[in-house]
Chains A and B, each alone.
Chain A
């Protein structure tokens, strides 16, 4: 398709959408009776509800059901796929890696984001300083992966280095290192990419809640001789606790679902795969539908309690 045709298709789709919505609204707007209100409400709500039922609820239920079948989806095998997820040696590596991601990314992004937010708080360059850390949030995970792949670029110690990480190693007189290939530490270097992205998010949210700490509390503590690290430990941290929890859990959820970094940087090779990528690999590369849906279900089960907890904390945060 040419560029013109693509844009034409786009405008057709948008126009079609608005015409359909307008017709529905015009047909129902004259009704004023009691049943009229219900019909009108249906016109407002049903398009969205129908899409959610068809595109979210039905597929989710089907997926969970299909996870009980074999790879072609024709023979019922009970919980065998789940047994594979939790016993097969390749899948165990995936679980190990996923655990490393889910623990390290939230912890480090939040810690660094918090420290940075405190350090630059009320400084002269605060806006600019925050923008620097925040910038990676606008970059796609694919873009971030390419940026870091270049940082990790490997050349033999005897050659000129073009990746900055190995250039630093060489400058220190050490041998260059295959950051992306050497198992198991390569997972750690992939994790750094997501930490780099998520720190900006942590910083922004925490910075806002640090600014929301009432001045009289800070002032009272200061008059009592509390300062520096103690202020941070006894005043700042307790005051922003709900925000901290929300940030930690939110990054946890993002980490569990992110598959772009692993796919772009290693393609899941060299023992770096995680659940969200393994799902993709099992279905689209190994065409094992049963195992793929089982992995998706495991992601679902892992995400669910965190989301519930996260939402409850967020409501608390908003209520304040």
Chain B
């Protein structure tokens, strides 16, 4: 989708079309081009300033933040790490704890649904069993369920499970209460993950599987030895999407989790309510929460864009 003809791109960069050009076009171009550049620059600046302002603020001393605008930083630069120190280790905010929670929630909530979805997608593409097509369409259709509709009954199921099973939520919850979060994120990820991976997997040539079958390989062997390596890019694409989704999630975290399992987003939202004008804390806190998705996003952007379109329908 993103493939560009390099020659055309180069020509465009020089601002000239090949061959003789009608006078009217070039005249219009001469007129519109500086305005076009200006418009692009204005949009880019407007889009960047909010983030830049908070970023600069996070490095200014508390007294400066409350007494002058962040833009005065350029004439009077004073840089301090104390906001970050306070927000990470201060007894009142202690974001390190919540950073750990975010990691502990996110890692299994990415690994588990992807594993389950890859298995299911494999079966839907390469195995024959009764009701296969119906089941796949049903799962596909369930993508339309917004998670709000499921939250209340699911919460009840966790608190009062049937058949005397161990309640997954509440004071005696196993695993410190993280199981509800892992499970919920897994459930909400599955329909989309199965659908996406199914699409990728059905593009793999069937002869590959057939010849492996003829050579006596079982499904488990084909799955682990052939499928997984071939599926790596697709798995990476969905993995990044799911990672960002879980890391940035607030709704699932505050519905199923408690203060002990709050991720950074939930804690930040809380701080924004209770200490709404302490910008030295909020600015540094926002960037603590931001740094991991930013690294993931910048380093793996290629995969991210691929999964983006399909992924944003989720939740």
Contacts and interface: CB of A to CB of B under 8 A. Distances in A.
Interface stretch (B82-90, B204-212, B231-239, B243-251): B243-251
A172 interface: no
Interface in B261-286: 265, 268-269, 272-273, 276, 279, 282-283, 285-286
Contacts of B37: 119, 123
Interface in B73-120: 96-97, 100-101, 104, 107-108, 111-112, 115-117, 119-120
A73 B116 CA distance: 35
A291 B124 CA distance: 39
A26 B272 CA distance: 50
B228 interface: no
Contacts of B194: 48
Contacts of A259: 250-251
B127 A150 contact: no
Contacts of A13: 108, 175, 178-179, 182
Contact of B28 (A12, A58, A227, A314): A227
A54 B277 CA distance: 43
A164 B71 contact: yes
Contacts of B273: 264, 267
A60 B150 contact: yes
Given A38-B129, A250-B313, A228 B28 contact: yes
A62 B145 CA distance: 13
A104 B12 CA distance: 33
A25 B289 CA distance: 38
A226 B297 CA distance: 39
Interface in A44-66: 44-45, 47-49, 51-52, 54-60, 62-64, 66
A238 B67 CA distance: 52
Interface string A210-231: 0110010000001101111100
Describe A's contact surface by its main secondary structure: helix
Interface string A279-312: 1100110000100110111011001100110110
Interface string B114-134: 011101101110011110100
B184 to A, nearest CB: 7
Residue of A25, A129, A140, A163 ringed by the most chain B CB atoms within 10 A:
A140
B154 A297 contact: no
B50 interface: yes
A289 B152 CA distance: 8
Contacts of A251: 312
A107 interface: no
B12 A122 contact: yes
A51 B145 contact: no
Given A13-B182, A63-B150, A164 B251 contact: no
A204 B305 contact: yes
Contacts of B112: 14, 17
Given A257-B315, A307-B144, A314 B310 contact: yes
A74 interface: no
Describe B's contact surface by its main secondary structure: helix
A150 B279 contact: yes
B153 A143 contact: no
Contacts of A87: none
B255 to A, nearest CB: 8
B257 interface: no
Contacts of B36: 119
A132 B112 CA distance: 33
A208 B40 CA distance: 18
B187 A62 contact: no
Interface in A200-254: 201, 204-205, 208-209, 211-212, 215, 222-223, 225-229, 246, 250-251, 253-254
Nearest to B65: A162
Contacts of A208: 1-2, 305
Interface string B290-315: 10011011100000010011101101
B163 interface: no
A300 B148 CA distance: 8
B153 A115 contact: no
A151 interface: yes
A13 B32 CA distance: 59
7 contacts: A40-B127, A41-B129, A48-B116, A139-B248, A226-B25, A257-B148, A300-B149
Interface of A: 1, 3, 5-7, 9-10, 12-14, 17-18, 21, 25-26, 28-30, 32, 37-38, 40-42, 44-45, 47-49, 51-52, 54-60, 62-64, 66, 112, 115-116, 119-124, 129, 132-133, 135-143, 145-151, 153, 160-164, 167, 196, 199, 201, 204-205, 208-209, 211-212, 215, 222-223, 225-229, 246, 250-251, 253-254, 256-257, 259-260, 263-264, 267, 276, 279-280, 283-284, 289, 292-293, 295-297, 299-300, 303-304, 307-308, 310-311, 314
Instruction: List the 5 closest A-B pairs by CB distance, nearest first.
Output: A122-B12, A55-B187, A140-B248, A44-B123, A59-B153
